[in-house]
Structure 1
Amino acid sequence: MQVLADEHGNVMHLFERDCSVQRCHQKVVEFAPSVVLTPERRTEVCNLALKLMKSVHYQNAATIEFLATPEQFYFIEVNPRVQVEHTVTELITGVDIVKAQIRIAAGEDLHQDIGLPHQADLHFHGAAIQCRVTTEDPENNFMPDTGRVLTYHAPGGTGVRLDGNVYSGYVVTPYFDSLLVKCCTKGDDFAEARVKMLRALHEFRLRGVKTNIPFMVNVLRHPTFVAGNCSTTFIDEHPELFRFDHQPDTPIQLLRYISNVTVNGFAGVTKQKHLNSAELPQPRYSQLQPTSATAGKTVKDILDEQGATAAMDYVKKQSQVLLTDTTMRDAHQSLFATRMRTHNMLPAMKIYDQAMPNLFSVESWGGATFDVCYRFLGEDPWVRLRLLKKYMPHTLQQMLLRASNAVGYQNYPDNVLKRFIDHSAKVGVDVFRIFDSLNWIEQMQRSIEYVRETGKIAEGTMCFTGDFLSSTEHKYTLDYYMQLAQSLIDAGAQMIGIKDMAGLLKPQAAYELVGHLKAKFDVPIHLHTHDTTGNGVATYVAATKAGVDVVDVAMAAMAGTTSQPSMGTFYYALEGDQRQPVLNMHNVEVLNQYWAGVRPLYHDFSNGINAPQPDLYRTEMPGGQYSNLKQ
């Protein structure tokens, strides 16, 4: 029973606190008011406490302790001071007991000076609970733990009060009490205060020392406590309170892992021989054999001079299949997590126009490159794009655009998307491969519209999955892709891209899909796949026979497995076929030798895949994900 008394003869009580939840006669959880105390018993006990303190002319704050049974109550002792659990009384009465005690000591009157209401006007509101968060280990007989608090995040919110001095870096010694913080909650009733306390205990993030929080959670969840009917032997009588559901300490485990990797490196990755990109043999213009575009102009020249429609007409008229080289974008994304730096691309950039003037495009930007430039490489992706335009003025620069997500991982407002597309087109992007991983047309419509407004090429792309050749495939059927292509063309797409991210498109399926698309639609078809299964070249050959206009390939040194099929291998696979792409293989090999020197620089980021993975037809994992999972 909390009491305040001054030197002017005023004595008042602030109602009771229930401190029954104890261990070895030490309080663990306290709450006010008591749930099981009847109003009549409350009045009786409170009046007895007042009578006792008046009889000794007491002055100060005090707590009178009683032991209650269902039939009777018994006086134990008077604590002539403020007790640890005074907080719950303050929460339900609104009286600052500590401040009142100091003012009483200064000789002030409880009512006239301090402003407390008279006893008849004082009422409690709601209910409050206090849990003492200590470093006592409930699994080791409550032995106090010591050490440094590595992480401390406190709970908060309406009705949560914390009294303590713990912080990140706080050192718990064996020389003082193990109490870290008193966590108190207030609610409209006991049930609400209990729920708030459970939330608060769960919100604590206290790492570095053991605490009794799991034990107190068990106490608050126990049916006896929920009923507010605990006795002083409650803890001793319920061994189930000591059964804990141990959860992995993920934050600490992650912190230790990152610290270990930062200092010691990745397990199994040893320091390799020093490689200096400046010492790599640089491809030179003098090494190239003369070659020129078959029409005297490249696709890029036609786009710049006559526009996107003329460029697409040119592509459709070509008897030979055209190529997109992904070496500077998706190839290294799929092999070593997009880590290739701009300065390793520069030597190749400078001779691409002259070495391969009959390419359709070079995929060099967008997708993960934008994100990785900022987060990992410390580069400006816009600078890379300007350099590509500067050194490859006659080659189309192609980017991967995640529709309304642009190059991010959330959808952006239309005005942001338009500004991004406008600026990308201005700086150097010619072909926008626009896709949505769920083939959601509404997500792609704005992007297609904004690209068309820039005068550049909008390639509406459908992500391929499933196996429409299988009798068990009921969703991703051939009809599904035909309807999707129609929707993309209706949205304004000037090309149809088939983005086979996981390498699931088998040769016969490619032949049928491309054949049907070419038969129905008067737009170029652009096929992209990954060679993870080892079937990439076979798939491209079948698609070429069906009339595909453009396929994505990579330089041999940067091709295969999770990357795209090899440019050279595909070229020789079509030898003797009238659709064999126009390439000078001597020039291709000059570039390939350079890329063969670049790739070992990024060995530590490699995904480790060095053989075909035919099980991919079951797991359906995209090529880029294979390498990203290693980082």
Structure 2
Amino acid sequence: ARLTRLREAVPNIMLQMLIRGANGVGYKAYPDNLTEKFVAEASEKGIDLFRIFDSLNWMKGMEGCLNFVRRQTPGLAEGSICYTGDILDPSRPKYNLNYYLTLARQLEEAGAHILCIKDMAGLLKPYAAAELIPALRETVKIPIHLHTHDTSSLQAATYLKAVEAGVNVIDVALGGLSGLTSQPNFNSVVEMLRHSPRHREFDQHSLNEFSDYFEALREQYYPFESGLLAGTAEVYAHEIPGGQYSNLRPQAAALGLLDKFEEVKQRFHDANELLGDIPKVTPSSKVVGDLSLFMVSNNLTPQDVLEKGPTLNFPESVRELLRGDIGQPEGGWPAGMQQAVLRDEKPFTERPGEHLAPIDFERAWVDFEKANPYTQFTDLLSSLLYPKVFADYWEFRKSYGDVSRIPTPVFFFGLKEGEETIIEIARGKSIIIRLQSIGPVNEEGMRTMFFTLNGQTRNLEVRDQRVAVKTVHNAKADRANPKQVAAPLQGLLSKMLVQAGQQVPKNAPLFVIEAMKMETTITAPADLTVGSLTLGEGARVQADDLVLTVA
């Protein structure tokens, strides 16, 4: 719906989207016909340009999507190379200039209309850009598009060198939304190029007005800021992508590691090295982040990970990555790390889509519509791509309706007594809601909220989540006792996979802990018989909480 509204509002401007090749818009590989159907639907709803990439720069992960866009849509297929390393650093030869030129040539041969250099962590330095862009122009005939993030506050200089070298397109952000983990400042770049051969005419007064508007709007989203107050050269050490930096902090907080965030950043670097120094873009960057959080949660060094690997319960995303579920990196996966994580499980090197059965959309739609009345085909696609996220969203939508119409501050922070808001429920039709007062809490933890709706009194009973909050302290496991199985990290005990008295073979799954998109499956350290279940599904756990005993 939002894409449709955007298309209607800006019919004369091209809209583009990112698509993660075989990973679609998710964190895993999907059946080929699901990716193809999604591309066709996105094009029909208004997308003009598909920026196609693979988080490991694996051509097999991009070829299918490139073909889908060219064959199924009137849109443009932009093939992307994820930039990592430093082409000017002789100590890091894995990602040298020839590596990028070879990929560029392959993307052009695969049918890309445009080539994008996707510098998600802002690692492309000015003099590296001055060498890379001319070399690419000599290698391919298609336009070259450069994307970066300004975490270091250096990337305007990188853009200047790229522009001087002949880059065709650069990505910028309006002044009020620019800098740090975002893109360089649009308004400033316009002035940087004024009176130069590459100047393009923009109305600076209008740009500044737009910037002021979004700067004020941004304040309403302050809880989601990255936490950076200035640019930092640390990014050249940890290489955390700009889009991930603001997510990694709340992930760390959810695991009780916010006070160790500096260590998390160091372990991000270590985790990347353990995985073979890979390009870090979603979904590969998420895996590096998951591994870094896992290492800090369990006080593990890189050497510990390799030596103790067979006894550790790694996040599921790490297992999937090293198994080959996301694709293959340059030079393959480090054998020692792969063996430590997968143990006896055999990895594969073929394209993941070759192992996945196609979706029967007719049957899937019948089943989906029956379970979810009043939905659309796009909802089915969302459900297939993000089953749990869609299920949670749909339950929320059934309970509360279309909350996207509620003004942002009211949605995030609610109304105060005596405060009112105007909600536009349709074009030209608005309602005025005023919170008159809040009643006392009753014995069931409910309060009556007294509103007026366009002047008419409305009462609503809601549960006060703050009432009678009990802090539960779970029993702690004795790590030295082999008959006690503990939670290795803080989170939600989302799945209990065994029962009391059940015989479980070594390495079989026992339970799953989930925290901020990271799932960790805890497996049996040896053949065992389950004694008692100390905690059940839905319990909040801290590291070292006792979950079950061994008979």
TM-score by length of structure 2 reads 0.45
- For the pair shown, the structure with the greater C-alpha radius of gyration is 1
